[in-house]
Every structure is written in structure tokens, then in C-alpha cells.
A and B are shown apart, each in its own frame.
Chain A
């Protein structure tokens, strides 16, 4: 008996080697032993996952931080406590919770939840998506000010902020909607979570990432010393949604506690160039010319949308390669036709399954069709964004005061101490004037 026990595995081994390592080998080659000395089988330990209570505690912390941030920006009106709250958020949501799940990435959970029948989105992820949006709709971007760990990581390194030329800033401003669209497309098709994968700061929070990502994060922080919060302003996909919400917000941080005196002291206080200067009273062009330009832009808008959709059709095939199944199918086709001599781990693993190549190709075609629809929508969306931005540029609003630009303002409170105007209770007259 012992002899067979020693020989048997060797025989199996030889057999297995002869048949080139069948990976999905059958189970239970050897019978379970009958122990005679009362040996008891050890149990496999199963350390439990993070408990739901802790997830809910995270949500409570998020809600509390949002409320506090709104209070500090709107009522307390003081930069220092906002900064301290931001540090606390950086430590808790960043270094302690290691940045997952964050509101920025939750866009992808929502997109996957809408379009995938298999994925069941955790309710906490839904709440993490909604809470900052709703708070922004009420109070402005107080989430960016002191809660978001990605923003906080960049905010602490703002040393010598320079003004980004307005034209360049507008051009770079197209990047966040593009990134948002791509991330939603990739998540909705189940291809990838791009925002998480290319999060430049999560590597610092976890104290570990690939060399490339750490380098990218370091580059962002380095650039962030002169171009304040570069990720927030020129990449953050969640920032696009927050910008929309903040434009509509019910209340918002103000630079002055009562009346702006146009003293210009706050003019250079914002490192994010988010202070709108008073617009000159005299309009530089005739009303007629303005209206004509507006009309042309309105006519142009559908063409921009159509052009974007057309570009989407052109780009859908390369874009669909984000999806691993499409990549694998293309690879398998090339390998089978002999145009690629070598194989990859993915293609080898695929050949080892008994799935026919046709099924894989069918899957890839279905995914590519999804990408076609998605790319058209993405292109149209970008065309719409560009068109709307052109429209916004061409509309002149008369402005007499220094005001935060509601879309771009992070409610960080840096401008507040620059305002020399004392807070005073409003007299009835000014109140009536305002109502006037």
C-alpha cells in the first residue's frame, strides 16, 4: 500500500506532463484518508470583510465633513478651520481609508450599475455618489474645499500659484468632460474603471503603486506647487458634475461679508483663478453685433454635436480596445490566421478553455456595437459641451462686484481674509434696494 502511494503520484505526474499540464484537471485523484489516531481536520480560517457598520460610519463621516465644510465656508467664513478640516479629511479619507470608494470613482459604479445586469451596486456607493452632489447643489463645492482627499493632497502643496492664461485654461477645461465621458463609456461597457486606474494620488495614500503611477502622482504634486490643484481643474471628472451643481447652488461662499467696494484687494487672492472681476459697464460692441454672433453660435451648435457624433463613429473601434474581450478577440483572430507567431497568457488561457472562438468573436462584436453607440453619444456630448462653452463666452453679463466664479470656485475660503469690508447688519434701505 505505501509503495503504491509513492508510485501513484509519480505516475500521475508523468501522465500530466505527457498531456502538457491539463490546468483544469479533475479533482479528488486521491481518496480522503481514514485517520485512525483521532486526527481532526483543521478549519480554514476566514477573516471577515470590513463590516457594514464601518462602511456606514464612513458615510456618516462624509456627511459630517460636508456639513462642517459648508458651515465653515458660509457661516464661519474662515480659511484656517477649512484648512484644518481638509487636513483631517486627507488623513481619514485619504491615508486611513486609502481612498476607496471615493465620490470621484463612484461615477463608474453608477454607470456600471445602470448598464450592467450583473453588477449590483452597493447602496453605500450610491450614497457616496449623491451626498457631495446634493451638498454642492445647496452650498457650492464645499466637497472640494475640505472633504475630497484628492483635492486636499493637491491643496497642501499650493506654494507659488501662477495665473494660467485664460485661453489655455479654457482649452484645458475641455479635458474633464472628455475624461468623464470616457470613464462613463468604459465603465458602462464593463471594460475598465479608468478613474480608479489612473488616480494619481491613491498610490501615496496606500504607500504603494506602480512606478509609473507614483511618477504621475509626483508630477501632479510638483506641477501643483505653481498650477494650483491641476487635477481638480483640468482633469477631475466628478468636478464636471460638481461644476454644474455649483452653478445652480442655492447658496454659495461670498468674498465679501456684505457689500463689495471694488477695492481690488481680493483680485489676486485666488490660486485657482476663480474670481470674476467686474465687467466693464460700457459694452465694447453694439448690441446688434452681439446678437448676431449669438445667433450664429446657436446655428453652429447642432453642427458641433453632429461633428462630435461623427468623430465618435470614427473613434469607436480603437476605443473598444479598452475592453479586454475585444483585445483578446482581435489577438485570437490574428493568431489563428498566422499573422502573429507568438501567444500571450490571455490567448493561451482562452485556448485551454473549450470555448469556441466564434463565441468570443460574437461577444467582442456585441461589445463593439455598445462602444459604437457609446462613442456617438460621447462625441455628441463633447460637441454640446464645446458649443455651450462658446455660447457662454459670447454672452456678456454686466457685473459690478468681485464674485467667485461659481463653477470653478472650490469654496476654499482663501479670498475671505482679503476683503476689508466689515460685516454689518443690513439696514432696511439696502434690503429694499436689493429687493428693488
Chain B
């Protein structure tokens, strides 16, 4: 369709153009006011492990099933204990290491003997449901090397994280997408 040729600027079209310009300016001003002095890049959601209280809501409130949150293990914080507060049921001296005595309801923690009295605990993320039981055990009785993190190969990065909305300890933060993890670090890593 050919655009009708414009008559010399009439009062009507002058006003219309003015309003149009004002509307464009208003939209741009709103957007401009939203940009802080240091313009932001992409952000993603992450859990501050030191604020997390292992309330188990990560398991149930994510828009994904199973949750995009998983338990991760910072090995350099771990004590490699034989009796692990994150792996065993409470009162471990009365139990053995059989599956029915594991704390994890989905047996997502694999226990491997390293040497002497040391054992390595490895998370199978495909089984982890982010219930946080092991994290609670490890934080309460151990070094706290097990902790919750949003896994960005799964997270769909909702505008407003559904877990963040209900997190009782405000542990969810928007972090820069370039550094998307807040992992616990031990003395070894910090030295490096």
C-alpha cells in the first residue's frame, strides 16, 4: 500500500507528531531511569550458602520438577569423615552404611573410600532433588562442605525466582551471569 502523501503540516498532524514524540520520550525516559549509573549486565539467581537454612523449599517451589537447585560438594571444605553428618542417619553409631541408613532419600550421595579413615562423598545430580537434608546434616555436624546451589544447566532464570520469593532466609541473590556460583571455599582454594 502506497503511503498517502502528506499534506503540508496541518495543526492536527503537528499535534499528533508532538504527542508521538512525547510518548517515545516517556518510554525512553522510563527505561533510562531504570538503568543505574553502572549499567547492569545479565544476572542469574544463586544461593548464598552462608545464609541458607536448609528449609527444604528449594525442592518444592522451583518451577521445574525436579528443582534446578542441587546439592554441591566443595571438596576442599570437606573433612572426609568416616561418620558423615550429611551421609548417615542421625545416631550413626547404631547404623551401618547400608542404603536404608543413608540420610539422602534418593541415595544421591556416593561414598567412596579414599585412604585410611578418609571417605569421599560425591553427589549424583541426576538423583538429587534439592531437599537439603544432607546439607542440614553436614552444616549441623560437619564442616558444611555440602551446600545448595542453583545449577545453571537446568535453571530457566525466571524473572522472579519462585524459590527466592518464599526463601525464609533471603538467601537467593541476583548475581552477574559471568560469575554464576557462590561456592563455599576452603583454605586450599583460598591459598591458590
Contact = CB atoms under 8 A, between A and B. Distances in A.
Interface of A: 1-2, 5-6, 9-10, 12-13, 16-17, 21-25, 27-33, 35-37, 39, 41-44, 46-50, 52, 55, 74-75, 77, 98, 100-101, 105-106, 108-114, 117, 119-124, 126, 129-130, 133-134, 137, 192-193, 196-197, 206, 208-209, 241, 244-245, 248-251, 254, 257, 324, 345-346, 348-350, 352-353, 423, 425-426, 431, 434-435
B157 A50 contact: yes
Contacts of B187: 32
Contacts of A39: 114-115, 118, 120
A21 B54 CA distance: 12
Interface in B54-101: 54-55, 57, 63-65, 72-85, 90-93
Contact of B31 (A28, A122, A129): A129
Which secondary structure characterizes the binding site on chain B? loop
Given A32-B187, A121-B34, A50 B24 contact: no
Given A21-B140, A113-B35, A49 B1 contact: no
- Interface residue tally on B, bucketed by range: 35 or more
Contact of B151 (A47, A100, A114): A47
Contacts of B152: 47-50
B60 to A, nearest CB: 10
Contact of B159 (A29, A105, A208): A105
Interface of B: 1-5, 7, 16, 19-20, 23-24, 27-28, 30-31, 33-36, 38-44, 50, 53-55, 57, 63-65, 72-85, 90-93, 114-118, 120, 122, 136, 139-144, 151-153, 155-160, 162, 165, 168-169, 174, 177, 180-181, 183-184, 186-188
Contacts of B151: 47
Nearest to A132: B27
B79 A29 contact: yes
Contacts of A124: 42
Give the residue among B28, B83, B160 with the most A Cβ atoms within 10 A.
B160
B123 to A, nearest CB: 10
Nearest to A13: B141
A350 B53 CA distance: 11
A27 B144 contact: yes
A206 B63 contact: yes
Which of the listed residues B31, B36, B54, B65 has the most CB atoms from chain A within 10 Å of its own CB?
Answer: B31
A254 B1 CA distance: 10
Contacts of A126: 31, 34-35
A100 B157 contact: yes
B2 A349 contact: no
A138 B91 CA distance: 70
A121 B92 contact: no
A125 B92 CA distance: 51
A48 B142 contact: no
A208 to B, nearest CB: 6
B79 A6 contact: no
A106 B159 CA distance: 8
Contacts of B27: 129-130, 133-134, 137, 241, 245
A105 to B, nearest CB: 5
B23 to A, nearest CB: 5
Given A55-B42, A349-B169, A257 B1 contact: yes
A423 B2 CA distance: 10
Contacts of B115: 35-37, 39
Contact of A209 (B2, B63, B156, B174): B63
B19 to A, nearest CB: 5
A31 B186 CA distance: 11
A130 B31 contact: yes
Contacts of B83: 5-6, 9-10
A21 B187 CA distance: 26
Contact of B76 (A41, A192, A434): A41
Contacts of B158: 100, 196
A248 B24 CA distance: 10
Contacts of A36: 115-116
A349 to B, nearest CB: 4
Contact of B4 (A74, A113, A196, A434): A434
A160 B84 CA distance: 64
B141 A122 contact: no
B4 A110 contact: no
A124 B24 CA distance: 18
Contacts of B93: 6, 10
